Structure 1
Amino acid sequence: MLSGRPAAAGRIQELEREYAAIELSLGNPAVLADNAEYLRLTRRHRALTPLITLWRDYSELETQAREATALLDDPDLGELARTELDSAQSRMNALQSELEVLLLPTDPHDASDVILELRAGAGGDEAGLFAADLLRMYSRYGEGLNLKLSVVDASESDLGGYSRLVAEVTGDDAYRALKWEKGVHRVQRIPATETQGRIHTSTVTVAVLPQVEQTEVSLDLSEVRIDVFRSQGAGGQGVNTTDSAVRATYRAGTPDEIMVVCQDGRSQLKNKEKALQILRSRLAERQREELMHSEREARSSQVGSGDRSEKIRTYNYPQNRVTDHRLSGDDKNFALEGVMEGGLAPVIAALVRAEREQQLLDMTDHAPA
Structure 2
Amino acid sequence: MFDRLEDTLVRFEELLSMLSEPDVANDPKRFQKLMKEQADLAPIVEAYKEYKENKQNIEDSLAMLQEESDEELRELAKEELAESKEKVEELEQKLKILLLPKDPNDDKNVIVEIRAGAGGDEAALFAAEVYRMYVHYAESKRWKVETMDVEEIGIGGMKYVSFMVTGQGAYSLLKYESGVHRVQRVPETESGGRIHTSTITVAIMPEAEEVDVQIDMNDCKFDVFRASGNGGQCVNTTDSAVRLTHIPTGIVISCQDEKSQLKNKDKALKVLRAKLYDMECQKAHDAEAEARRSQVGTGDRSEKIRTYNFPQGRVTDHRIKLTLYRLESIMNGDIQEIIDALIAADQAAKLAKMNEN
1:191 and 2:182 equivalent? Answer: no
Are 1:262 and 1:275, in contact at CA under 8 Å, matched by a contact in 2? Answer: yes
Deviation at 1:201, TM superposition (A): 1.1
1:96 and 2:92 equivalent? Answer: yes
Determine which of 323, 333, 337 is the counterpart of 1:346: 337
Deviation at 1:318, TM superposition (A): 1.1
Decide which moves more: 227-236 or 348-357.
227-236
CA shift in 2, pair 1:315/1:271, >3 Å:
same
Residue of structure 1 in register with 2:220 after alignment: 224
TM value normalised by structure 1: 0.83
CA shift in 2, pair 1:285/1:156, >3 Å:
same
Residue of structure 2 in register with 1:287 after alignment: 280
In structure 2, give the amino acid aligned to 1:283.
Answer: L
Are 1:116 and 1:208, in contact at CA under 8 Å, matched by a contact in 2? Answer: yes
TM value normalised by structure 2: 0.85
> 1:173-184 counterparts in 2 under 5 A?
173-184=169-180
Name the SS of the counterpart of 1:97 in structure 2: helix
Distance 1:273 1:182 in 2: 25
Residue of structure 2 in register with 1:3 after alignment: none
Are 1:58 and 1:95, in contact at CA under 8 Å, matched by a contact in 2? Answer: yes
In structure 2, give the amino acid aligned to 1:347.
Answer: I
Describe the superposition over 1:60-95 as per-residue Cα deviations: whole angstroms up to 9, x where unpaired.
334445566667764679959964556544432321
Describe the superposition over 1:118-172 as per-residue Cα deviations: whole angstroms up to 9, x where unpaired.
0111111111110100011111111111112221111111222111111000111
RMSD between aligned alpha carbons? 3.1
Decide which moves more: 173-182 or 333-342.
333-342
Residue of structure 2 in register with 1:156 after alignment: 152
Distance 1:86 1:188 in 2: 50
Residue of structure 2 in register with 1:322 after alignment: 315
Deviation at 1:180, TM superposition (A): 1.2
Residue of structure 2 in register with 1:214 after alignment: 210
Determine which of 58, 63, 73 is the counterpart of 2:51: 58
In structure 1, give the amino acid aligned to 2:41.
Answer: L
Determine which of 270, 289, 293 is the counterpart of 1:277: 270
Distance 2:30 2:151 in 1: 37
Distance 1:271 1:38 in 2: 33
Distance 1:260 1:29 in 2: 47
Are 1:114 and 1:210, in contact at CA under 8 Å, matched by a contact in 2? Answer: yes
> 1:58-77 counterparts in 2 under 5 A?
58-65=51-58, 74=67
Distance 2:198 2:109 in 1: 29
Gaps of at least 5 residues in structure 1 are 1-7, 305-309
Residue of structure 2 in register with 1:113 after alignment: 109
In structure 2, give the amino acid aligned to 1:142.
Answer: A
In structure 2, give the amino acid aligned to 1:315.
Answer: Y
Deviation at 1:313, TM superposition (A): 0.5
How many residues end up aligned between the 2 structures?
349
Distance 2:176 2:29 in 1: 27
Distance 1:188 1:94 in 2: 41
Are 1:327 and 1:354, in contact at CA under 8 Å, matched by a contact in 2? Answer: yes
> 1:234-253 counterparts in 2 under 5 A?
234=230, 239=235, 241-250=237-246, 252=247
Determine which of 151, 165, 176 is the counterpart of 1:169: 165
Describe the superposition over 1:9-46 as per-residue Cα deviations: whole angstroms up to 9, x where unpaired.
12223333444455456557777787776666555444
Name the SS of the counterpart of 2:4 in structure 1: helix
In structure 2, give the amino acid aligned to 1:210.
Answer: P
Gaps of at least 5 residues in structure 2 are none
In structure 1, give the amino acid aligned to 2:312.
Answer: Q
1:302 and 2:300 equivalent? Answer: yes
Distance 1:39 1:232 in 2: 42
Name the SS of the counterpart of 1:342 in structure 2: coil
CA shift in 2, pair 1:319/1:89, >3 Å:
closer
Are 1:240 and 1:266, in contact at CA under 8 Å, matched by a contact in 2? Answer: no
In structure 2, give the amino acid aligned to 1:351.
Answer: L
Determine which of 135, 138, 153 is the counterpart of 1:142: 138
Decide which moves more: 186-195 or 59-68.
59-68
Deviation at 1:107, TM superposition (A): 1.8
Residue of structure 2 in register with 1:307 after alignment: none
